[in-house]
Amino acid sequence: MYSHAHGQHEARPGRRRRRLGLCGGEFLRIAANHPHLEIGAVTAHSNAGATLGSLQPHLRSLADRVLEPTGVEALAGHDVVVLALPHGASGEIAAQLPDDVVVLDLGADHRLTDAAAWEQFYGSPHAGTWPYGLPELLHTDGTRQRDLLRGARRIAVPGCNVTAVTLGLQPGVAAGLIEADDVVAVLANGYSGAGKSLKTHLLASEALGSAAPYAVGGTHRHIPEIQQNLGVAGAETVRISFTPTLVPMSRGILATATARLQAGADPAAVRAAWADAYADEPFVHLLPEGQWPSTAMTLGANTALVQVAVDAAAGRVVTVTAIDNLVKGTAGGAIQSMNLALGLPETAGLTTEGVAP
């Protein structure tokens, strides 16, 4: 079989749309080399009529593609539709698409099950929940999220920071080895996560040679999504201090996430729990003891590299997870879930080899 993939390119001003602009481009980069995909319509709003090469010249095989106006007409006749829109916009379009079309929403609209949490962090009505696109998410019954993605026709792709923090901590939650009620996560983030939004603090002259935090103090929209995932993995109460920091790299997330070792838990059991959780995962790898991940190891690859250690003196388990925010963090993860939805090999079109150094 073959499928058509469709990436949307928003062009109205504002942070969200631009970030998704990048996601759309990255989806096309991977899709262009996917053995089972044929790229159909590529649409945009204000950029409709332009060639893709004029906007994303690194996608050589698609350089001559002319962007079509976004709309149901352009989307008709595809097996897969990728929505990269500002939040609030995807539900409306999805409703107009046939039920048997696989719709991947790279935005946040359909990730949360808790409408109150949605409204608190996004300030708009909840658009409903779609199957959550993190195949490795652990469930308390021992199953994994991928079982819910096989044959799915609507998929909510996770947030990039959420993927990194969830993969780092969930083995300890599922094994009852860490307390989830006082998690602290600090992330080093590349600038591509902020997309093409034209803001002074995103300029190269401000970014080069500097590190700076943002959304500090419990305001980041990824917080409820992390709470939801760790809840699925078995945590009763999840409280998290979450601080992302922009550092001078284009891609990558390095997530340092720590939680208290469960009272009475055996520190010696920690490593085994993480090893068991990811032993058979094609894209999530626990590194050999003593080797710590770097974001460069994952550049351009769909991998999440994890390491864990017990700090007995501090009474905490420390995990570090590295991903490429645009691949495993967004477009690659989306294709992994799409593969499951379409009944393709889960790894089709995705690489585990990072572009390093």
Q: Which residues are catalytic?
A: 160
285, 334, 337, 344: which one binds a second copy (CB under 8 A): 285
Asked if residue 218 binds a second copy (CB under 8 A), the reply is: yes
Q: Given the complex with a second copy, which of 58 and 263 has the nearer CB atom?
A: 58
Distance in angstroms (rounded) separating the CA atoms of residues 303 and 324: 8
Q: Which is nearer to a second copy, 87 or 251 (CB)?
A: 251
Smaller CB separation from a second copy, 19 or 110: 19
Residue in the structure block whose two tokens are 């080399």: 33
Of 43-72, which residues contact a second copy (CB under 8 A)? 53-54, 56-61, 63
β-sheet with 154-156: strand ranges across: 80-83, 102-105, 154-156
How far, in Å, CA of 51 to CA of 49, rounded? 7
Q: d(Cα 255, Cα 6) in Å, to the nearest integer?
A: 30
Scanning 4-12, 82-90, 135-143, 315-323 for contacts with a second copy by CB under 8 A, the matching segment is 315-323
CA torsion, ordered 118, 194, 207, 56, to nearest 10 deg: 180
d(CA 20, CA 197): 10
Using CB under 8 A as the binding rule, whether residue 314 contacts a second copy is answered as: yes
Tell me: does residue 96 bind a second copy (CB under 8 A): no
E-strand spans in 10-56?
37-39, 43-44
Three-state DSSP state, 146:
helix
**Cα–Cα dist 140/231, whole Å:** 9
**Shortest distance (Å) from residue 333 CB to a second copy:** 16
The DSSP element (H or E) to which 187 belongs, if any, is strand 183-189
Structure tokens at 251: 């891609």
| Smallest distance from a second copy to CB 214, Å | 7
Angle, nearest 10°, between helix axes 223-232 and 160-174? 30
Least CB distance to a second copy at residue 85 (A) = 20
3 contributes a contact to a second copy by CB under 8 A: no
Q: Site for a second copy (CB under 8 A): how many residues?
A: 94
Q: Which of 248, 275, 276, 289 binds a second copy (CB under 8 A)?
A: 248
- Residue 239 CB, nearest distance to a second copy (Å)? 5
Q: How many other β-carbons are positioned within 10 Å of the β-carbon of residue 334?
A: 28
Question: Which member of 14, 213, 266, 289 binds a second copy (CB under 8 A)?
Answer: 213
Instruction: Tell the smallest beta-carbon distance from residue 128 to a second copy (Å).
Output: 25
Rounded distance, CA 302 to CA 334, Å? 10
Do the bridges between strand 304-311 and strand 284-286 make them parallel or antiparallel, or are there none, so unpaired?
A: parallel
Query: Which member of 322, 331, 334, 340 binds a second copy (CB under 8 A)?
Result: 322
Q: How far is the CB of 97 from a second copy (least distance, A)?
A: 27
The contact mask relative to a second copy for 159-198 (x = CB under 8 A, - = no) is -----------------------x-x-x-x-xxx-xxx-x
How is residue 220 written in tokens? 């980041």
Residue 113 touches a second copy, criterion: CB under 8 A: no
Enumerate residues 292-311 that contact a second copy by CB under 8 A. 292-301, 303, 305, 307, 309-311
Is 286 an interacting residue with respect to a second copy (CB under 8 A)?
A: no
209 belongs to the binding site for a second copy (CB under 8 A): yes
